Amino acid sequence: MRAELSSRGTAWFSALGIDVSGVHHHHRLFTRPYLDLTGRRHHLAGALGAAVAANLLERGWLRRRPEGRAVSVSGAGQTRLKRELGITLP
């Protein structure tokens, strides 16, 4: 399965602070949808997903957990994700 980023999507990621053109020139696959079979949730894989994760970690919206690859959303992250992206966490 293949995914492409629209001009609107490019603008959205750019507004978040993601250098989409720089990500396009990364050595990894740019992006692809990915279904996590454990949680049965869709994720953004590839260089774009990694850039988003790095951006949110840098902003302090996400924090790495000491074990494995898991992250948690900070209090500030919950507020900003809701305000900036319309994402409300349970």
Domain count, the chain: 2
Domain limits for position 48: 1-55
Together in a domain, 41 and 83: no
Are 74 and 49 in a shared domain? no
12 & 51 share domain: yes
* 84, 67: one domain: yes
Higher pLDDT: 75 or 22? It is: 75
Residue 64 — pLDDT band, cuts 50, 70, 90? very high
On whether both 5 and 36 belong to a single domain, the answer is: yes
Mean pLDDT of the chain: 84
- By C-alpha distance, which of 59, 1, 61 is closest to 31? 1
